[in-house]
Structure 1
């Protein structure tokens, strides 16, 4: 599941307000009107703006004048929090994002920020081919828990340290 992240500092910088109360995040237009632009419910501890169905016209409020002009897919990709190019295109085509004349002639660029965010990391090998050559050179730790029952001191977690040399 992908979601759009909204920077509250950027919302504030743009003159808008954020009001959070009773598991609901409301985005409000600038003073003095302060009408609700979007109400975003809390889900699993986050206020999630689902890319598939964002609150109607939410993005036009935060784009400023740059959103009311011809825009290529790469700029739109960045403006919408690095969502996929196909999702960005779908938001414009379906009318969920308005005020944009999408330039279909621009070639899709490689976005370094997106590449870094989705890059794969090789897993640790089952057996390491390097070992520490002295005590304290490399120490491994592991935290286990919570246990279903407490120990005699009332604790539910266990922390271990293993010196790689030993």
Structure 2
């Protein structure tokens, strides 16, 4: 009996030791909050994926049902976190290819305000670029003023009137 208990404990420890969750494992795939904000929001809600259990029988059966339920809940929470982070604009990256690892390796600072340009939406990108150009223009950058005027004309042609926020 002691051998079976040790084997079960070793299996649970091995399964639990495989979980990692840091920004180096994720890459930003769309518009959304920074990784820390998205991860915290998902972490607060992941308990909703847990399922309870009822087991009646021998102590060994009840313990086995509890361990099985715990493993099932871990898998459900992991899937919930994956889906929640995707909805927040983050996706698991192949090992070592996440945003944090890529930014450190290339020396590129993280995205401004913790958001990335929205993929496929030229209007959102143009609005963010217009805002950046407006701030630089106010500071006296003549090139930024020309960029601001050009982007402003494109946005107005699309029916959007940009204004400083």
Query: TM-score under structure 2 normalisation?
Result: 0.23
Query: TM-score under structure 1 normalisation?
Result: 0.23
Larger fraction in helix: 2
Q: Which has the higher contact order (CA 8 A, sep 6+)?
A: 2
Larger fraction in strand: 1
